[in-house]
Structure 1
Amino acid sequence: METKISEEFLTLCESLLRAQLNVIKQFRKQLGLKESEAPKEKRMSQMDMVYNILCETQKPMHVDDIIIAAKAKFDIEMDKESVVSALAKRIKRQDRFIKIAPNTYALIDQELGGGRK
C-alpha cells in the first residue's frame, strides 16, 4: 500500500506551523523574553572533513581509513567513489591534497611544504 501526501496537505501543515510559531513569538514578547535564535550550524563539506582528519593524524592515510575516521569523528557515511573523485579534483588543482600511493592521500603542506588551503 502506497501513501501519497498531497501538496495541499503539506501547504496546510506548513501554514499551521508558521501560525503556531507566530503565536509562540507573541507570547515570548508579552512575557518580556528574548526571541530564541535558531541554531546556526555550519555544515562541513566532506573535503573539509578529510582535511581535518589528515591534519589530526599528521600522516598519509588510505581512503578506507579516512572513511572509517570520518564515521567515528563526524558520524557520517561517505561514499568511497565520491571521496576519491573529489580528492582527484583537488589534487589536479593542487588544492590541499596529494596522492602518494594508490588510494592513499596526504596534505600538500605535510609532504611538500606548501599548497593552497
Structure 2
Amino acid sequence: METSDLTGDELLQVLSTLASPHRMRVLAALVEGRAYVSQLARHLGISRALLQVHLRKLEKAGLVTAQLELSDEGKALKFYEAAPFVLHLTPGSIATAAATLTDPAADHGAAPKGSE
C-alpha cells in the first residue's frame, strides 16, 4: 500500500488507526516478525482481548495481515504480521486524497481526544 493508492477515506482510516500509541506498539512488535495473539499480548504486556481490538483495527486499515494455522497439537492459531506500506505525506498528496473524500464534513470514526 502506498499513499498515492489510497482514497481520502482510506487515508483517514490509516492515519486514525496509527494515531493510537497501543496500535503503534503492536505494529512495531510485528516488525520483529509474525506472532499469534498470546505471544504478542505477553510481549506487549496487554490483555488478549484488548490486543484483539487493536489487531482488528490494524487489519481493517490494511496495516497488518492475519493467517490461521494449526499447531502441531491441532490448536488453531491466528498469526499476524505487518503488511508492507509506504506513507509519504505532502500537502499535494493530502489535497489529492481530500478531493476523493465521500463526505468532507464527516469525522470518519476518529476517536474523541483522550479515548485511546
- Identify whether the pair has TM-score above 0.5, normalized to the shorter chain: no
Q: Which has the higher strand share?
A: 2
Structure number, greater radius of gyration: 1
Please identify which structure carries the higher helix content.
Answer: 1
* TM-score for both structures, normalised by structure 1: 0.44
Per the normalisation by structure 2, the TM-score is 0.44
